[in-house]
């Protein structure tokens, strides 16, 4: 019995020594690589704990900015066994994106968990898949008049609806308008017009709910965007991983219903539907060429989700930024005198 216990003890000691030796060798190798500086992390998990802080707090929201001030415009973060490098200067980002070694993107694991294994989208796609989806999206947007007079008409019409809504709220002194929500709805309506050909009312409870989910999703990600590409982190039953899965699940329900409505409403030839909306063009591509790894219902949902965020988040935040509003208002009044709307 004593011999067996001694053998087990010896084996445990050998394993621990081996682990410590491996850690020491990796640490020595990293030191020799002359990597950029960065905050110190915990053993094995690195800087992962900071990603589990409550979204929206000062520590979480400005974590990357504080690290940039302390360690410079290029620094490293250790996320478990992986090393991540953060670029905080436009010139560095532009140079990096033009380098052949870092043209790829990590797989959209969060999308695959929520929507299905075919989920690739446009933003997180890479290689030939990204080229195919990019060319398709640019071609569809060109046909829909994005950047031209037709698209300007959509924006002007939605702007007039927003102004009427603000006027109606302004007449009631007891109501304090949520400007961020209103701008989210207005910008999302323009995106919906291109994507589904649908326009929602500003008091539509279902659409307001999905707009709130969109805001929650964007705030919960913050510096935790790594959760989108890590199957382990995204699958955790707590933290940003759980919030990400919940938001994506609600988006899936909303987008599936809207795509189904669009499909039943436009039960006609692919040529007719493809000339009016992004969804129609995508479904027409599936109908004409058959479903493949790029053009399928799952990837359609993923692309629609990315269109919503690309077309809504940045624009609505810019429109509600006090600095941008005051700056643009001065320029508009100087040029227009407050009498008419801008035109392309």
Q: How far apart are CA 333 and CA 256, in angstroms?
A: 43
What is the pLDDT averaged over residues 129-133?
87
What is the rounded average pLDDT for all residues in the chain?
77
* pLDDT value at 240 more than 80: no
What tokens were used for 109?
Answer: 């694991």
146 & 236 share domain: yes
The region of weakest confidence among 60-64, 149-153, 165-169 is 60-64
Question: Where is pLDDT greater, at 190 or 226?
Answer: 190
Please name which of 127, 306, 102, 124 lies closest in space to residue 230, comparing C-alpha atoms: 124
Domain that includes residue 54, residue range: 36-103
Count CB-CB contacts under 10 A for residue 150. Answer: 11
299 & 204 share domain: yes
Instruction: Identify whether 29 is part of a domain.
Output: no
80 & 194 share domain: no
Q: Are 74 and 67 in contact (CB under 8 A)?
A: no
Q: Residues 314-333: pLDDT tens digits?
A: 777 777 776 666 666 666 66
Give the model's confidence band at 166: pLDDT under 50 very low, under 70 low, under 90 confident, else very high.
confident
Instruction: Identify whether 195 is part of a domain.
Output: yes
81 & 218 share domain: no
Instruction: Identify whether 71 is part of a domain.
Output: yes
Give the model's confidence band at 6: pLDDT under 50 very low, under 70 low, under 90 confident, else very high.
low
What tokens were used for 282?
Answer: 């995508």
162 & 82 share domain: no
What is the pLDDT averaged over residues 125-133?
84
Q: Residues 59-108: pLDDT tens digits?
A: 445 677 888 888 989 998 887 777 888 888 889 888 888 877 777 777 77
137 & 98 share domain: no
End residue of a domain, out of 52, 87, 103: 103
Percentage of the chain exceeding pLDDT 90 = 2
207 & 322 share domain: yes
191 & 98 share domain: no
* pLDDT value at 173 more than 60: no
42 & 96 share domain: yes
What is the pLDDT averaged over residues 291-295?
84
Q: What is the phi/psi pair of residue 57, to 5°?
A: -75, 165
Beta bridge partners of 84: 77
Give residue 326's pLDDT: 67
CA atoms within 13 A of residue 330's CA, in its CB half-sphere: 5
235 & 321 share domain: yes
Percentage of the chain exceeding pLDDT 70 = 75
Question: Where is pLDDT greater, at 140 or 181?
Answer: 140
Surface-to-core class of residue 179, CB atoms within 10 Å of its CB (0-12 exposed, 13-18 middle, 19+ buried): middle
CATH number, domain containing residue 301: 1.10.630.10
Beta bridge partners of 83: 78
Q: How far apart are CA 150 and CA 152, in angstroms?
A: 5
Q: How many domains does the chain have?
A: 2
Count CB-CB contacts under 10 A for residue 314. Answer: 12
Q: Residues 302-316: pLDDT tens digits?
A: 999 888 888 787 777
Per-residue DSSP letters for 131-188?
HHHHHHHHHHHHHTTTTSHHHHHHHHHHHHHHHHHHHHHHT-TT----HHHHHHHHHH
155 & 88 share domain: no
What is the pLDDT averaged over residues 215-233?
70
Instruction: Identify whether 22 is part of a domain.
Output: no
Give the model's confidence band at 199: pLDDT under 50 very low, under 70 low, under 90 confident, else very high.
confident
Instruction: Identify whether 9 is part of a domain.
Output: no
Q: How far apart are CA 31 and CA 18, in angstroms?
A: 20
| SS percent in the chain: helix, strand, coil, step 5 | 65, 5, 30
Q: How far apart are CA 304 and CA 309, in angstroms?
A: 9
Instruction: Identify whether 7 is part of a domain.
Output: no
| Sequence-separated (6 or more) residues with CB below 8 Å from residue 62 | none
Q: Residues 35-44: pLDDT tens digits?
A: 888 888 777 7
Question: Where is pLDDT greater, at 227 or 293?
Answer: 293
Strand segments (E) across 218-336: none
Listed as own residue / partner, the contacts of 27-35 with beta carbons closer than 8 Å and 24 or more positions apart are 35/76, 35/83
Question: Where is pLDDT greater, at 227 or 140?
Answer: 140
This prediction's pTM: 0.74
Instruction: Identify whether 304 is part of a domain.
Output: yes
Q: How far apart are CA 43 and CA 22, in angstroms?
A: 13
Give the model's confidence band at 270: pLDDT under 50 very low, under 70 low, under 90 confident, else very high.
very low
Give residue 272's pLDDT: 46
What is the pLDDT averaged over residues 233-247?
78
* pLDDT value at 159 more than 80: yes
Give residue 28's pLDDT: 54
Instruction: Identify whether 328 is part of a domain.
Output: yes
Count CB-CB contacts under 10 A for residue 253. Answer: 10
93 & 147 share domain: no
Give residue 2's pLDDT: 46
Question: Where is pLDDT greater, at 104 or 140?
Answer: 140
Please name which of 259, 270, 254, 306 lies closest in space to residue 108, comparing C-alpha atoms: 306
Give residue 239's pLDDT: 72
* pLDDT value at 129 more than 60: yes
| Sequence-separated (6 or more) residues with CB below 8 Å from residue 289 | 295
Strand segments (E) across the chain: 74-79, 82-87
């Amino acid at each position: 019995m004593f011999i067996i216990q001694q053998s087990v003890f010896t084996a445990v000691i050998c394993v621990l020594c081996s682990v410590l030796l491996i850690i020491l060798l990796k640490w020595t190798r990293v030191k020799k690589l002359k990597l950029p500086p960065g905050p110190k992390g915990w053993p094995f998990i690195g800087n992962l704990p900071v990603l589990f802080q409550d979204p929206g707090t000062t520590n979480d929201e400005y974590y990357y900015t504080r690290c940039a001030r302390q360690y410079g415009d290029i620094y490293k973060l250790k996320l478990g066994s992986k090393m991540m490098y953060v670029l905080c200067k436009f010139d560095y980002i532009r140079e990096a994106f033009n380098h052949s070694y870092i043209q790829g993107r990590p797989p959209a694991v969060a999308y695959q968990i929520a929507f299905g294994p075919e989920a690739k989208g446009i933003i997180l796609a890479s290689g030939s898949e990204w080229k195919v989806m990019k060319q398709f999206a640019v071609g569809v947007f060109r046909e829909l008049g994005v950047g031209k007079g037709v698209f300007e008409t959509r924006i002007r019409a939605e702007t007039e609806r927003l102004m009427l809504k603000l006027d109606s709220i302004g007449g009631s002194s007891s109501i304090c308008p949520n400007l961020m929500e209103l701008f989210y709805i207005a910008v999302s309506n323009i995106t919906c017009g291109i994507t589904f050909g649908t326009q929602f009312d500003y008091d539509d409870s279902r659409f307001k709910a999905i707009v709130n989910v969109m805001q929650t999703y964007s705030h919960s990600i913050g510096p935790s965007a790594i959760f989108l590409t890590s199957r382990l982190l995204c699958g955790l039953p707590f933290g940003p991983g759980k919030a990400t899965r919940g938001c994506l699940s609600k988006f899936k329900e909303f987008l599936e219903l809207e795509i189904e409505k669009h499909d039943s409403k436009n039960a006609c030839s692919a040529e007719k539907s493809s000339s009016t909306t992004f969804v129609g063009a995508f479904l027409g591509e599936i109908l004409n060429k058959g479903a493949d790894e790029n053009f399928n219902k799952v990837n359609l949902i993923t692309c629609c989700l990315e269109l919503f965020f690309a077309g809504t988040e940045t624009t609505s935040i810019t429109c509600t930024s006090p600095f941008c509003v005051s700056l643009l208002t001065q320029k508009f009044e100087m040029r227009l005198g407050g009498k008419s709307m801008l035109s392309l």
